Amino acid sequence: MKKLYYSIGEVSNITDVEAHVLRYWETIFKELSPRKNKAGNRTYREEDITLILKLKELIQEKKYSTAGAQKFLNNETTTSEPASQKDNIPHEIQKDLKEIRMFLGKLSEKL
């Protein structure tokens, strides 16, 4: 189920990254800057979720420092070639699968 905007709680569930970590990453990575609605709540777009999944891979899985992850992102944006993902599932598909899993979990609770 595609949405235009996601709340911080939804993004946290989709990406398995705690909300406080998402807020911290906003202060470190200028590329991650979700908009805020009139109530002041963060609203994340698909591009933000893709970036968060990339940051999660770099920081939590590959053990990059935040400075190292920033350098990696800067290098990635300056090169025109997309990063190869031979053995990894692309972040977009990971996000979609996570959303489907959440939907099915909610559906099974109603049964």
Q: Write down the domain spans for the chain.
A: 8-110
Q: Is the pTM of this model over 0.75?
A: no
| CATH code at 8-110 | 1.10.1660
Q: Which of 40, 43, 51 is nearest to 83 (CA)?
A: 51
Tens of pLDDT, residues 45-95 = 999 999 999 999 999 999 999 999 999 988 876 664 454 443 467 777 877
Q: Around Cβ 99, how many Cβ atoms within 10 Å?
A: 18
Instruction: Of 15-19, 26-30, 47-51, 105-109, give the lowest mean pLDDT range.
Output: 105-109
Burial of 22 from C-beta contacts in 10 A (0-12 / 13-18 / 19+): buried
